Amino acid sequence: MTMFSKQFLVRHQFKLVFVIIWLHVSTLDLFYITYSGPVFLWQENAQFITLLVHVIIAALTTCCYWAVEKKIVKKWRVENIRS
């Protein structure tokens, strides 16, 4: 399966993180559960401001992931050069 090869995942890592986080936040905001069952918030979730907030949250989370990943990879490379 070449679509999800290691090379593909490394090349599109941040795009995939962004999409997964955006879908996760949007899904969590789509409904909530009460004793009488789930309540879906279709109209509220389809508003531009809500979608914008979800995109901003996903972008900030992806930036944090990028910063942490960059620091870890840099530290890992320095440790491997020393040994």
Number of domains in the chain: 1
Q: Assign 75 a pLDDT band (cuts: 50, 70, 90).
A: confident
Residue 29 lies in a domain: yes
For residue 8, the model assigns a pLDDT of 82
Among the listed residues 78, 64, 61, the one whose alpha carbon sits nearest the alpha carbon of residue 26: 61
Q: Look up the domain containing 22 and give its range.
A: 6-82
In a domain, residue 1? The reply is no
Structure tokens at 8: 């593909």
| Residue 23 in domain | yes
Residue 58 to residue 60: CA distance in whole angstroms: 6
Q: Does some domain include residue 18?
A: yes
SS3 67: helix
Q: Is residue 32 part of a domain?
A: yes
Mean per-residue pLDDT, 56-69: 95
The verdict on residue 20 lying in a domain is yes
pTM equals 0.77
Mean pLDDT of all residues in the chain? 87
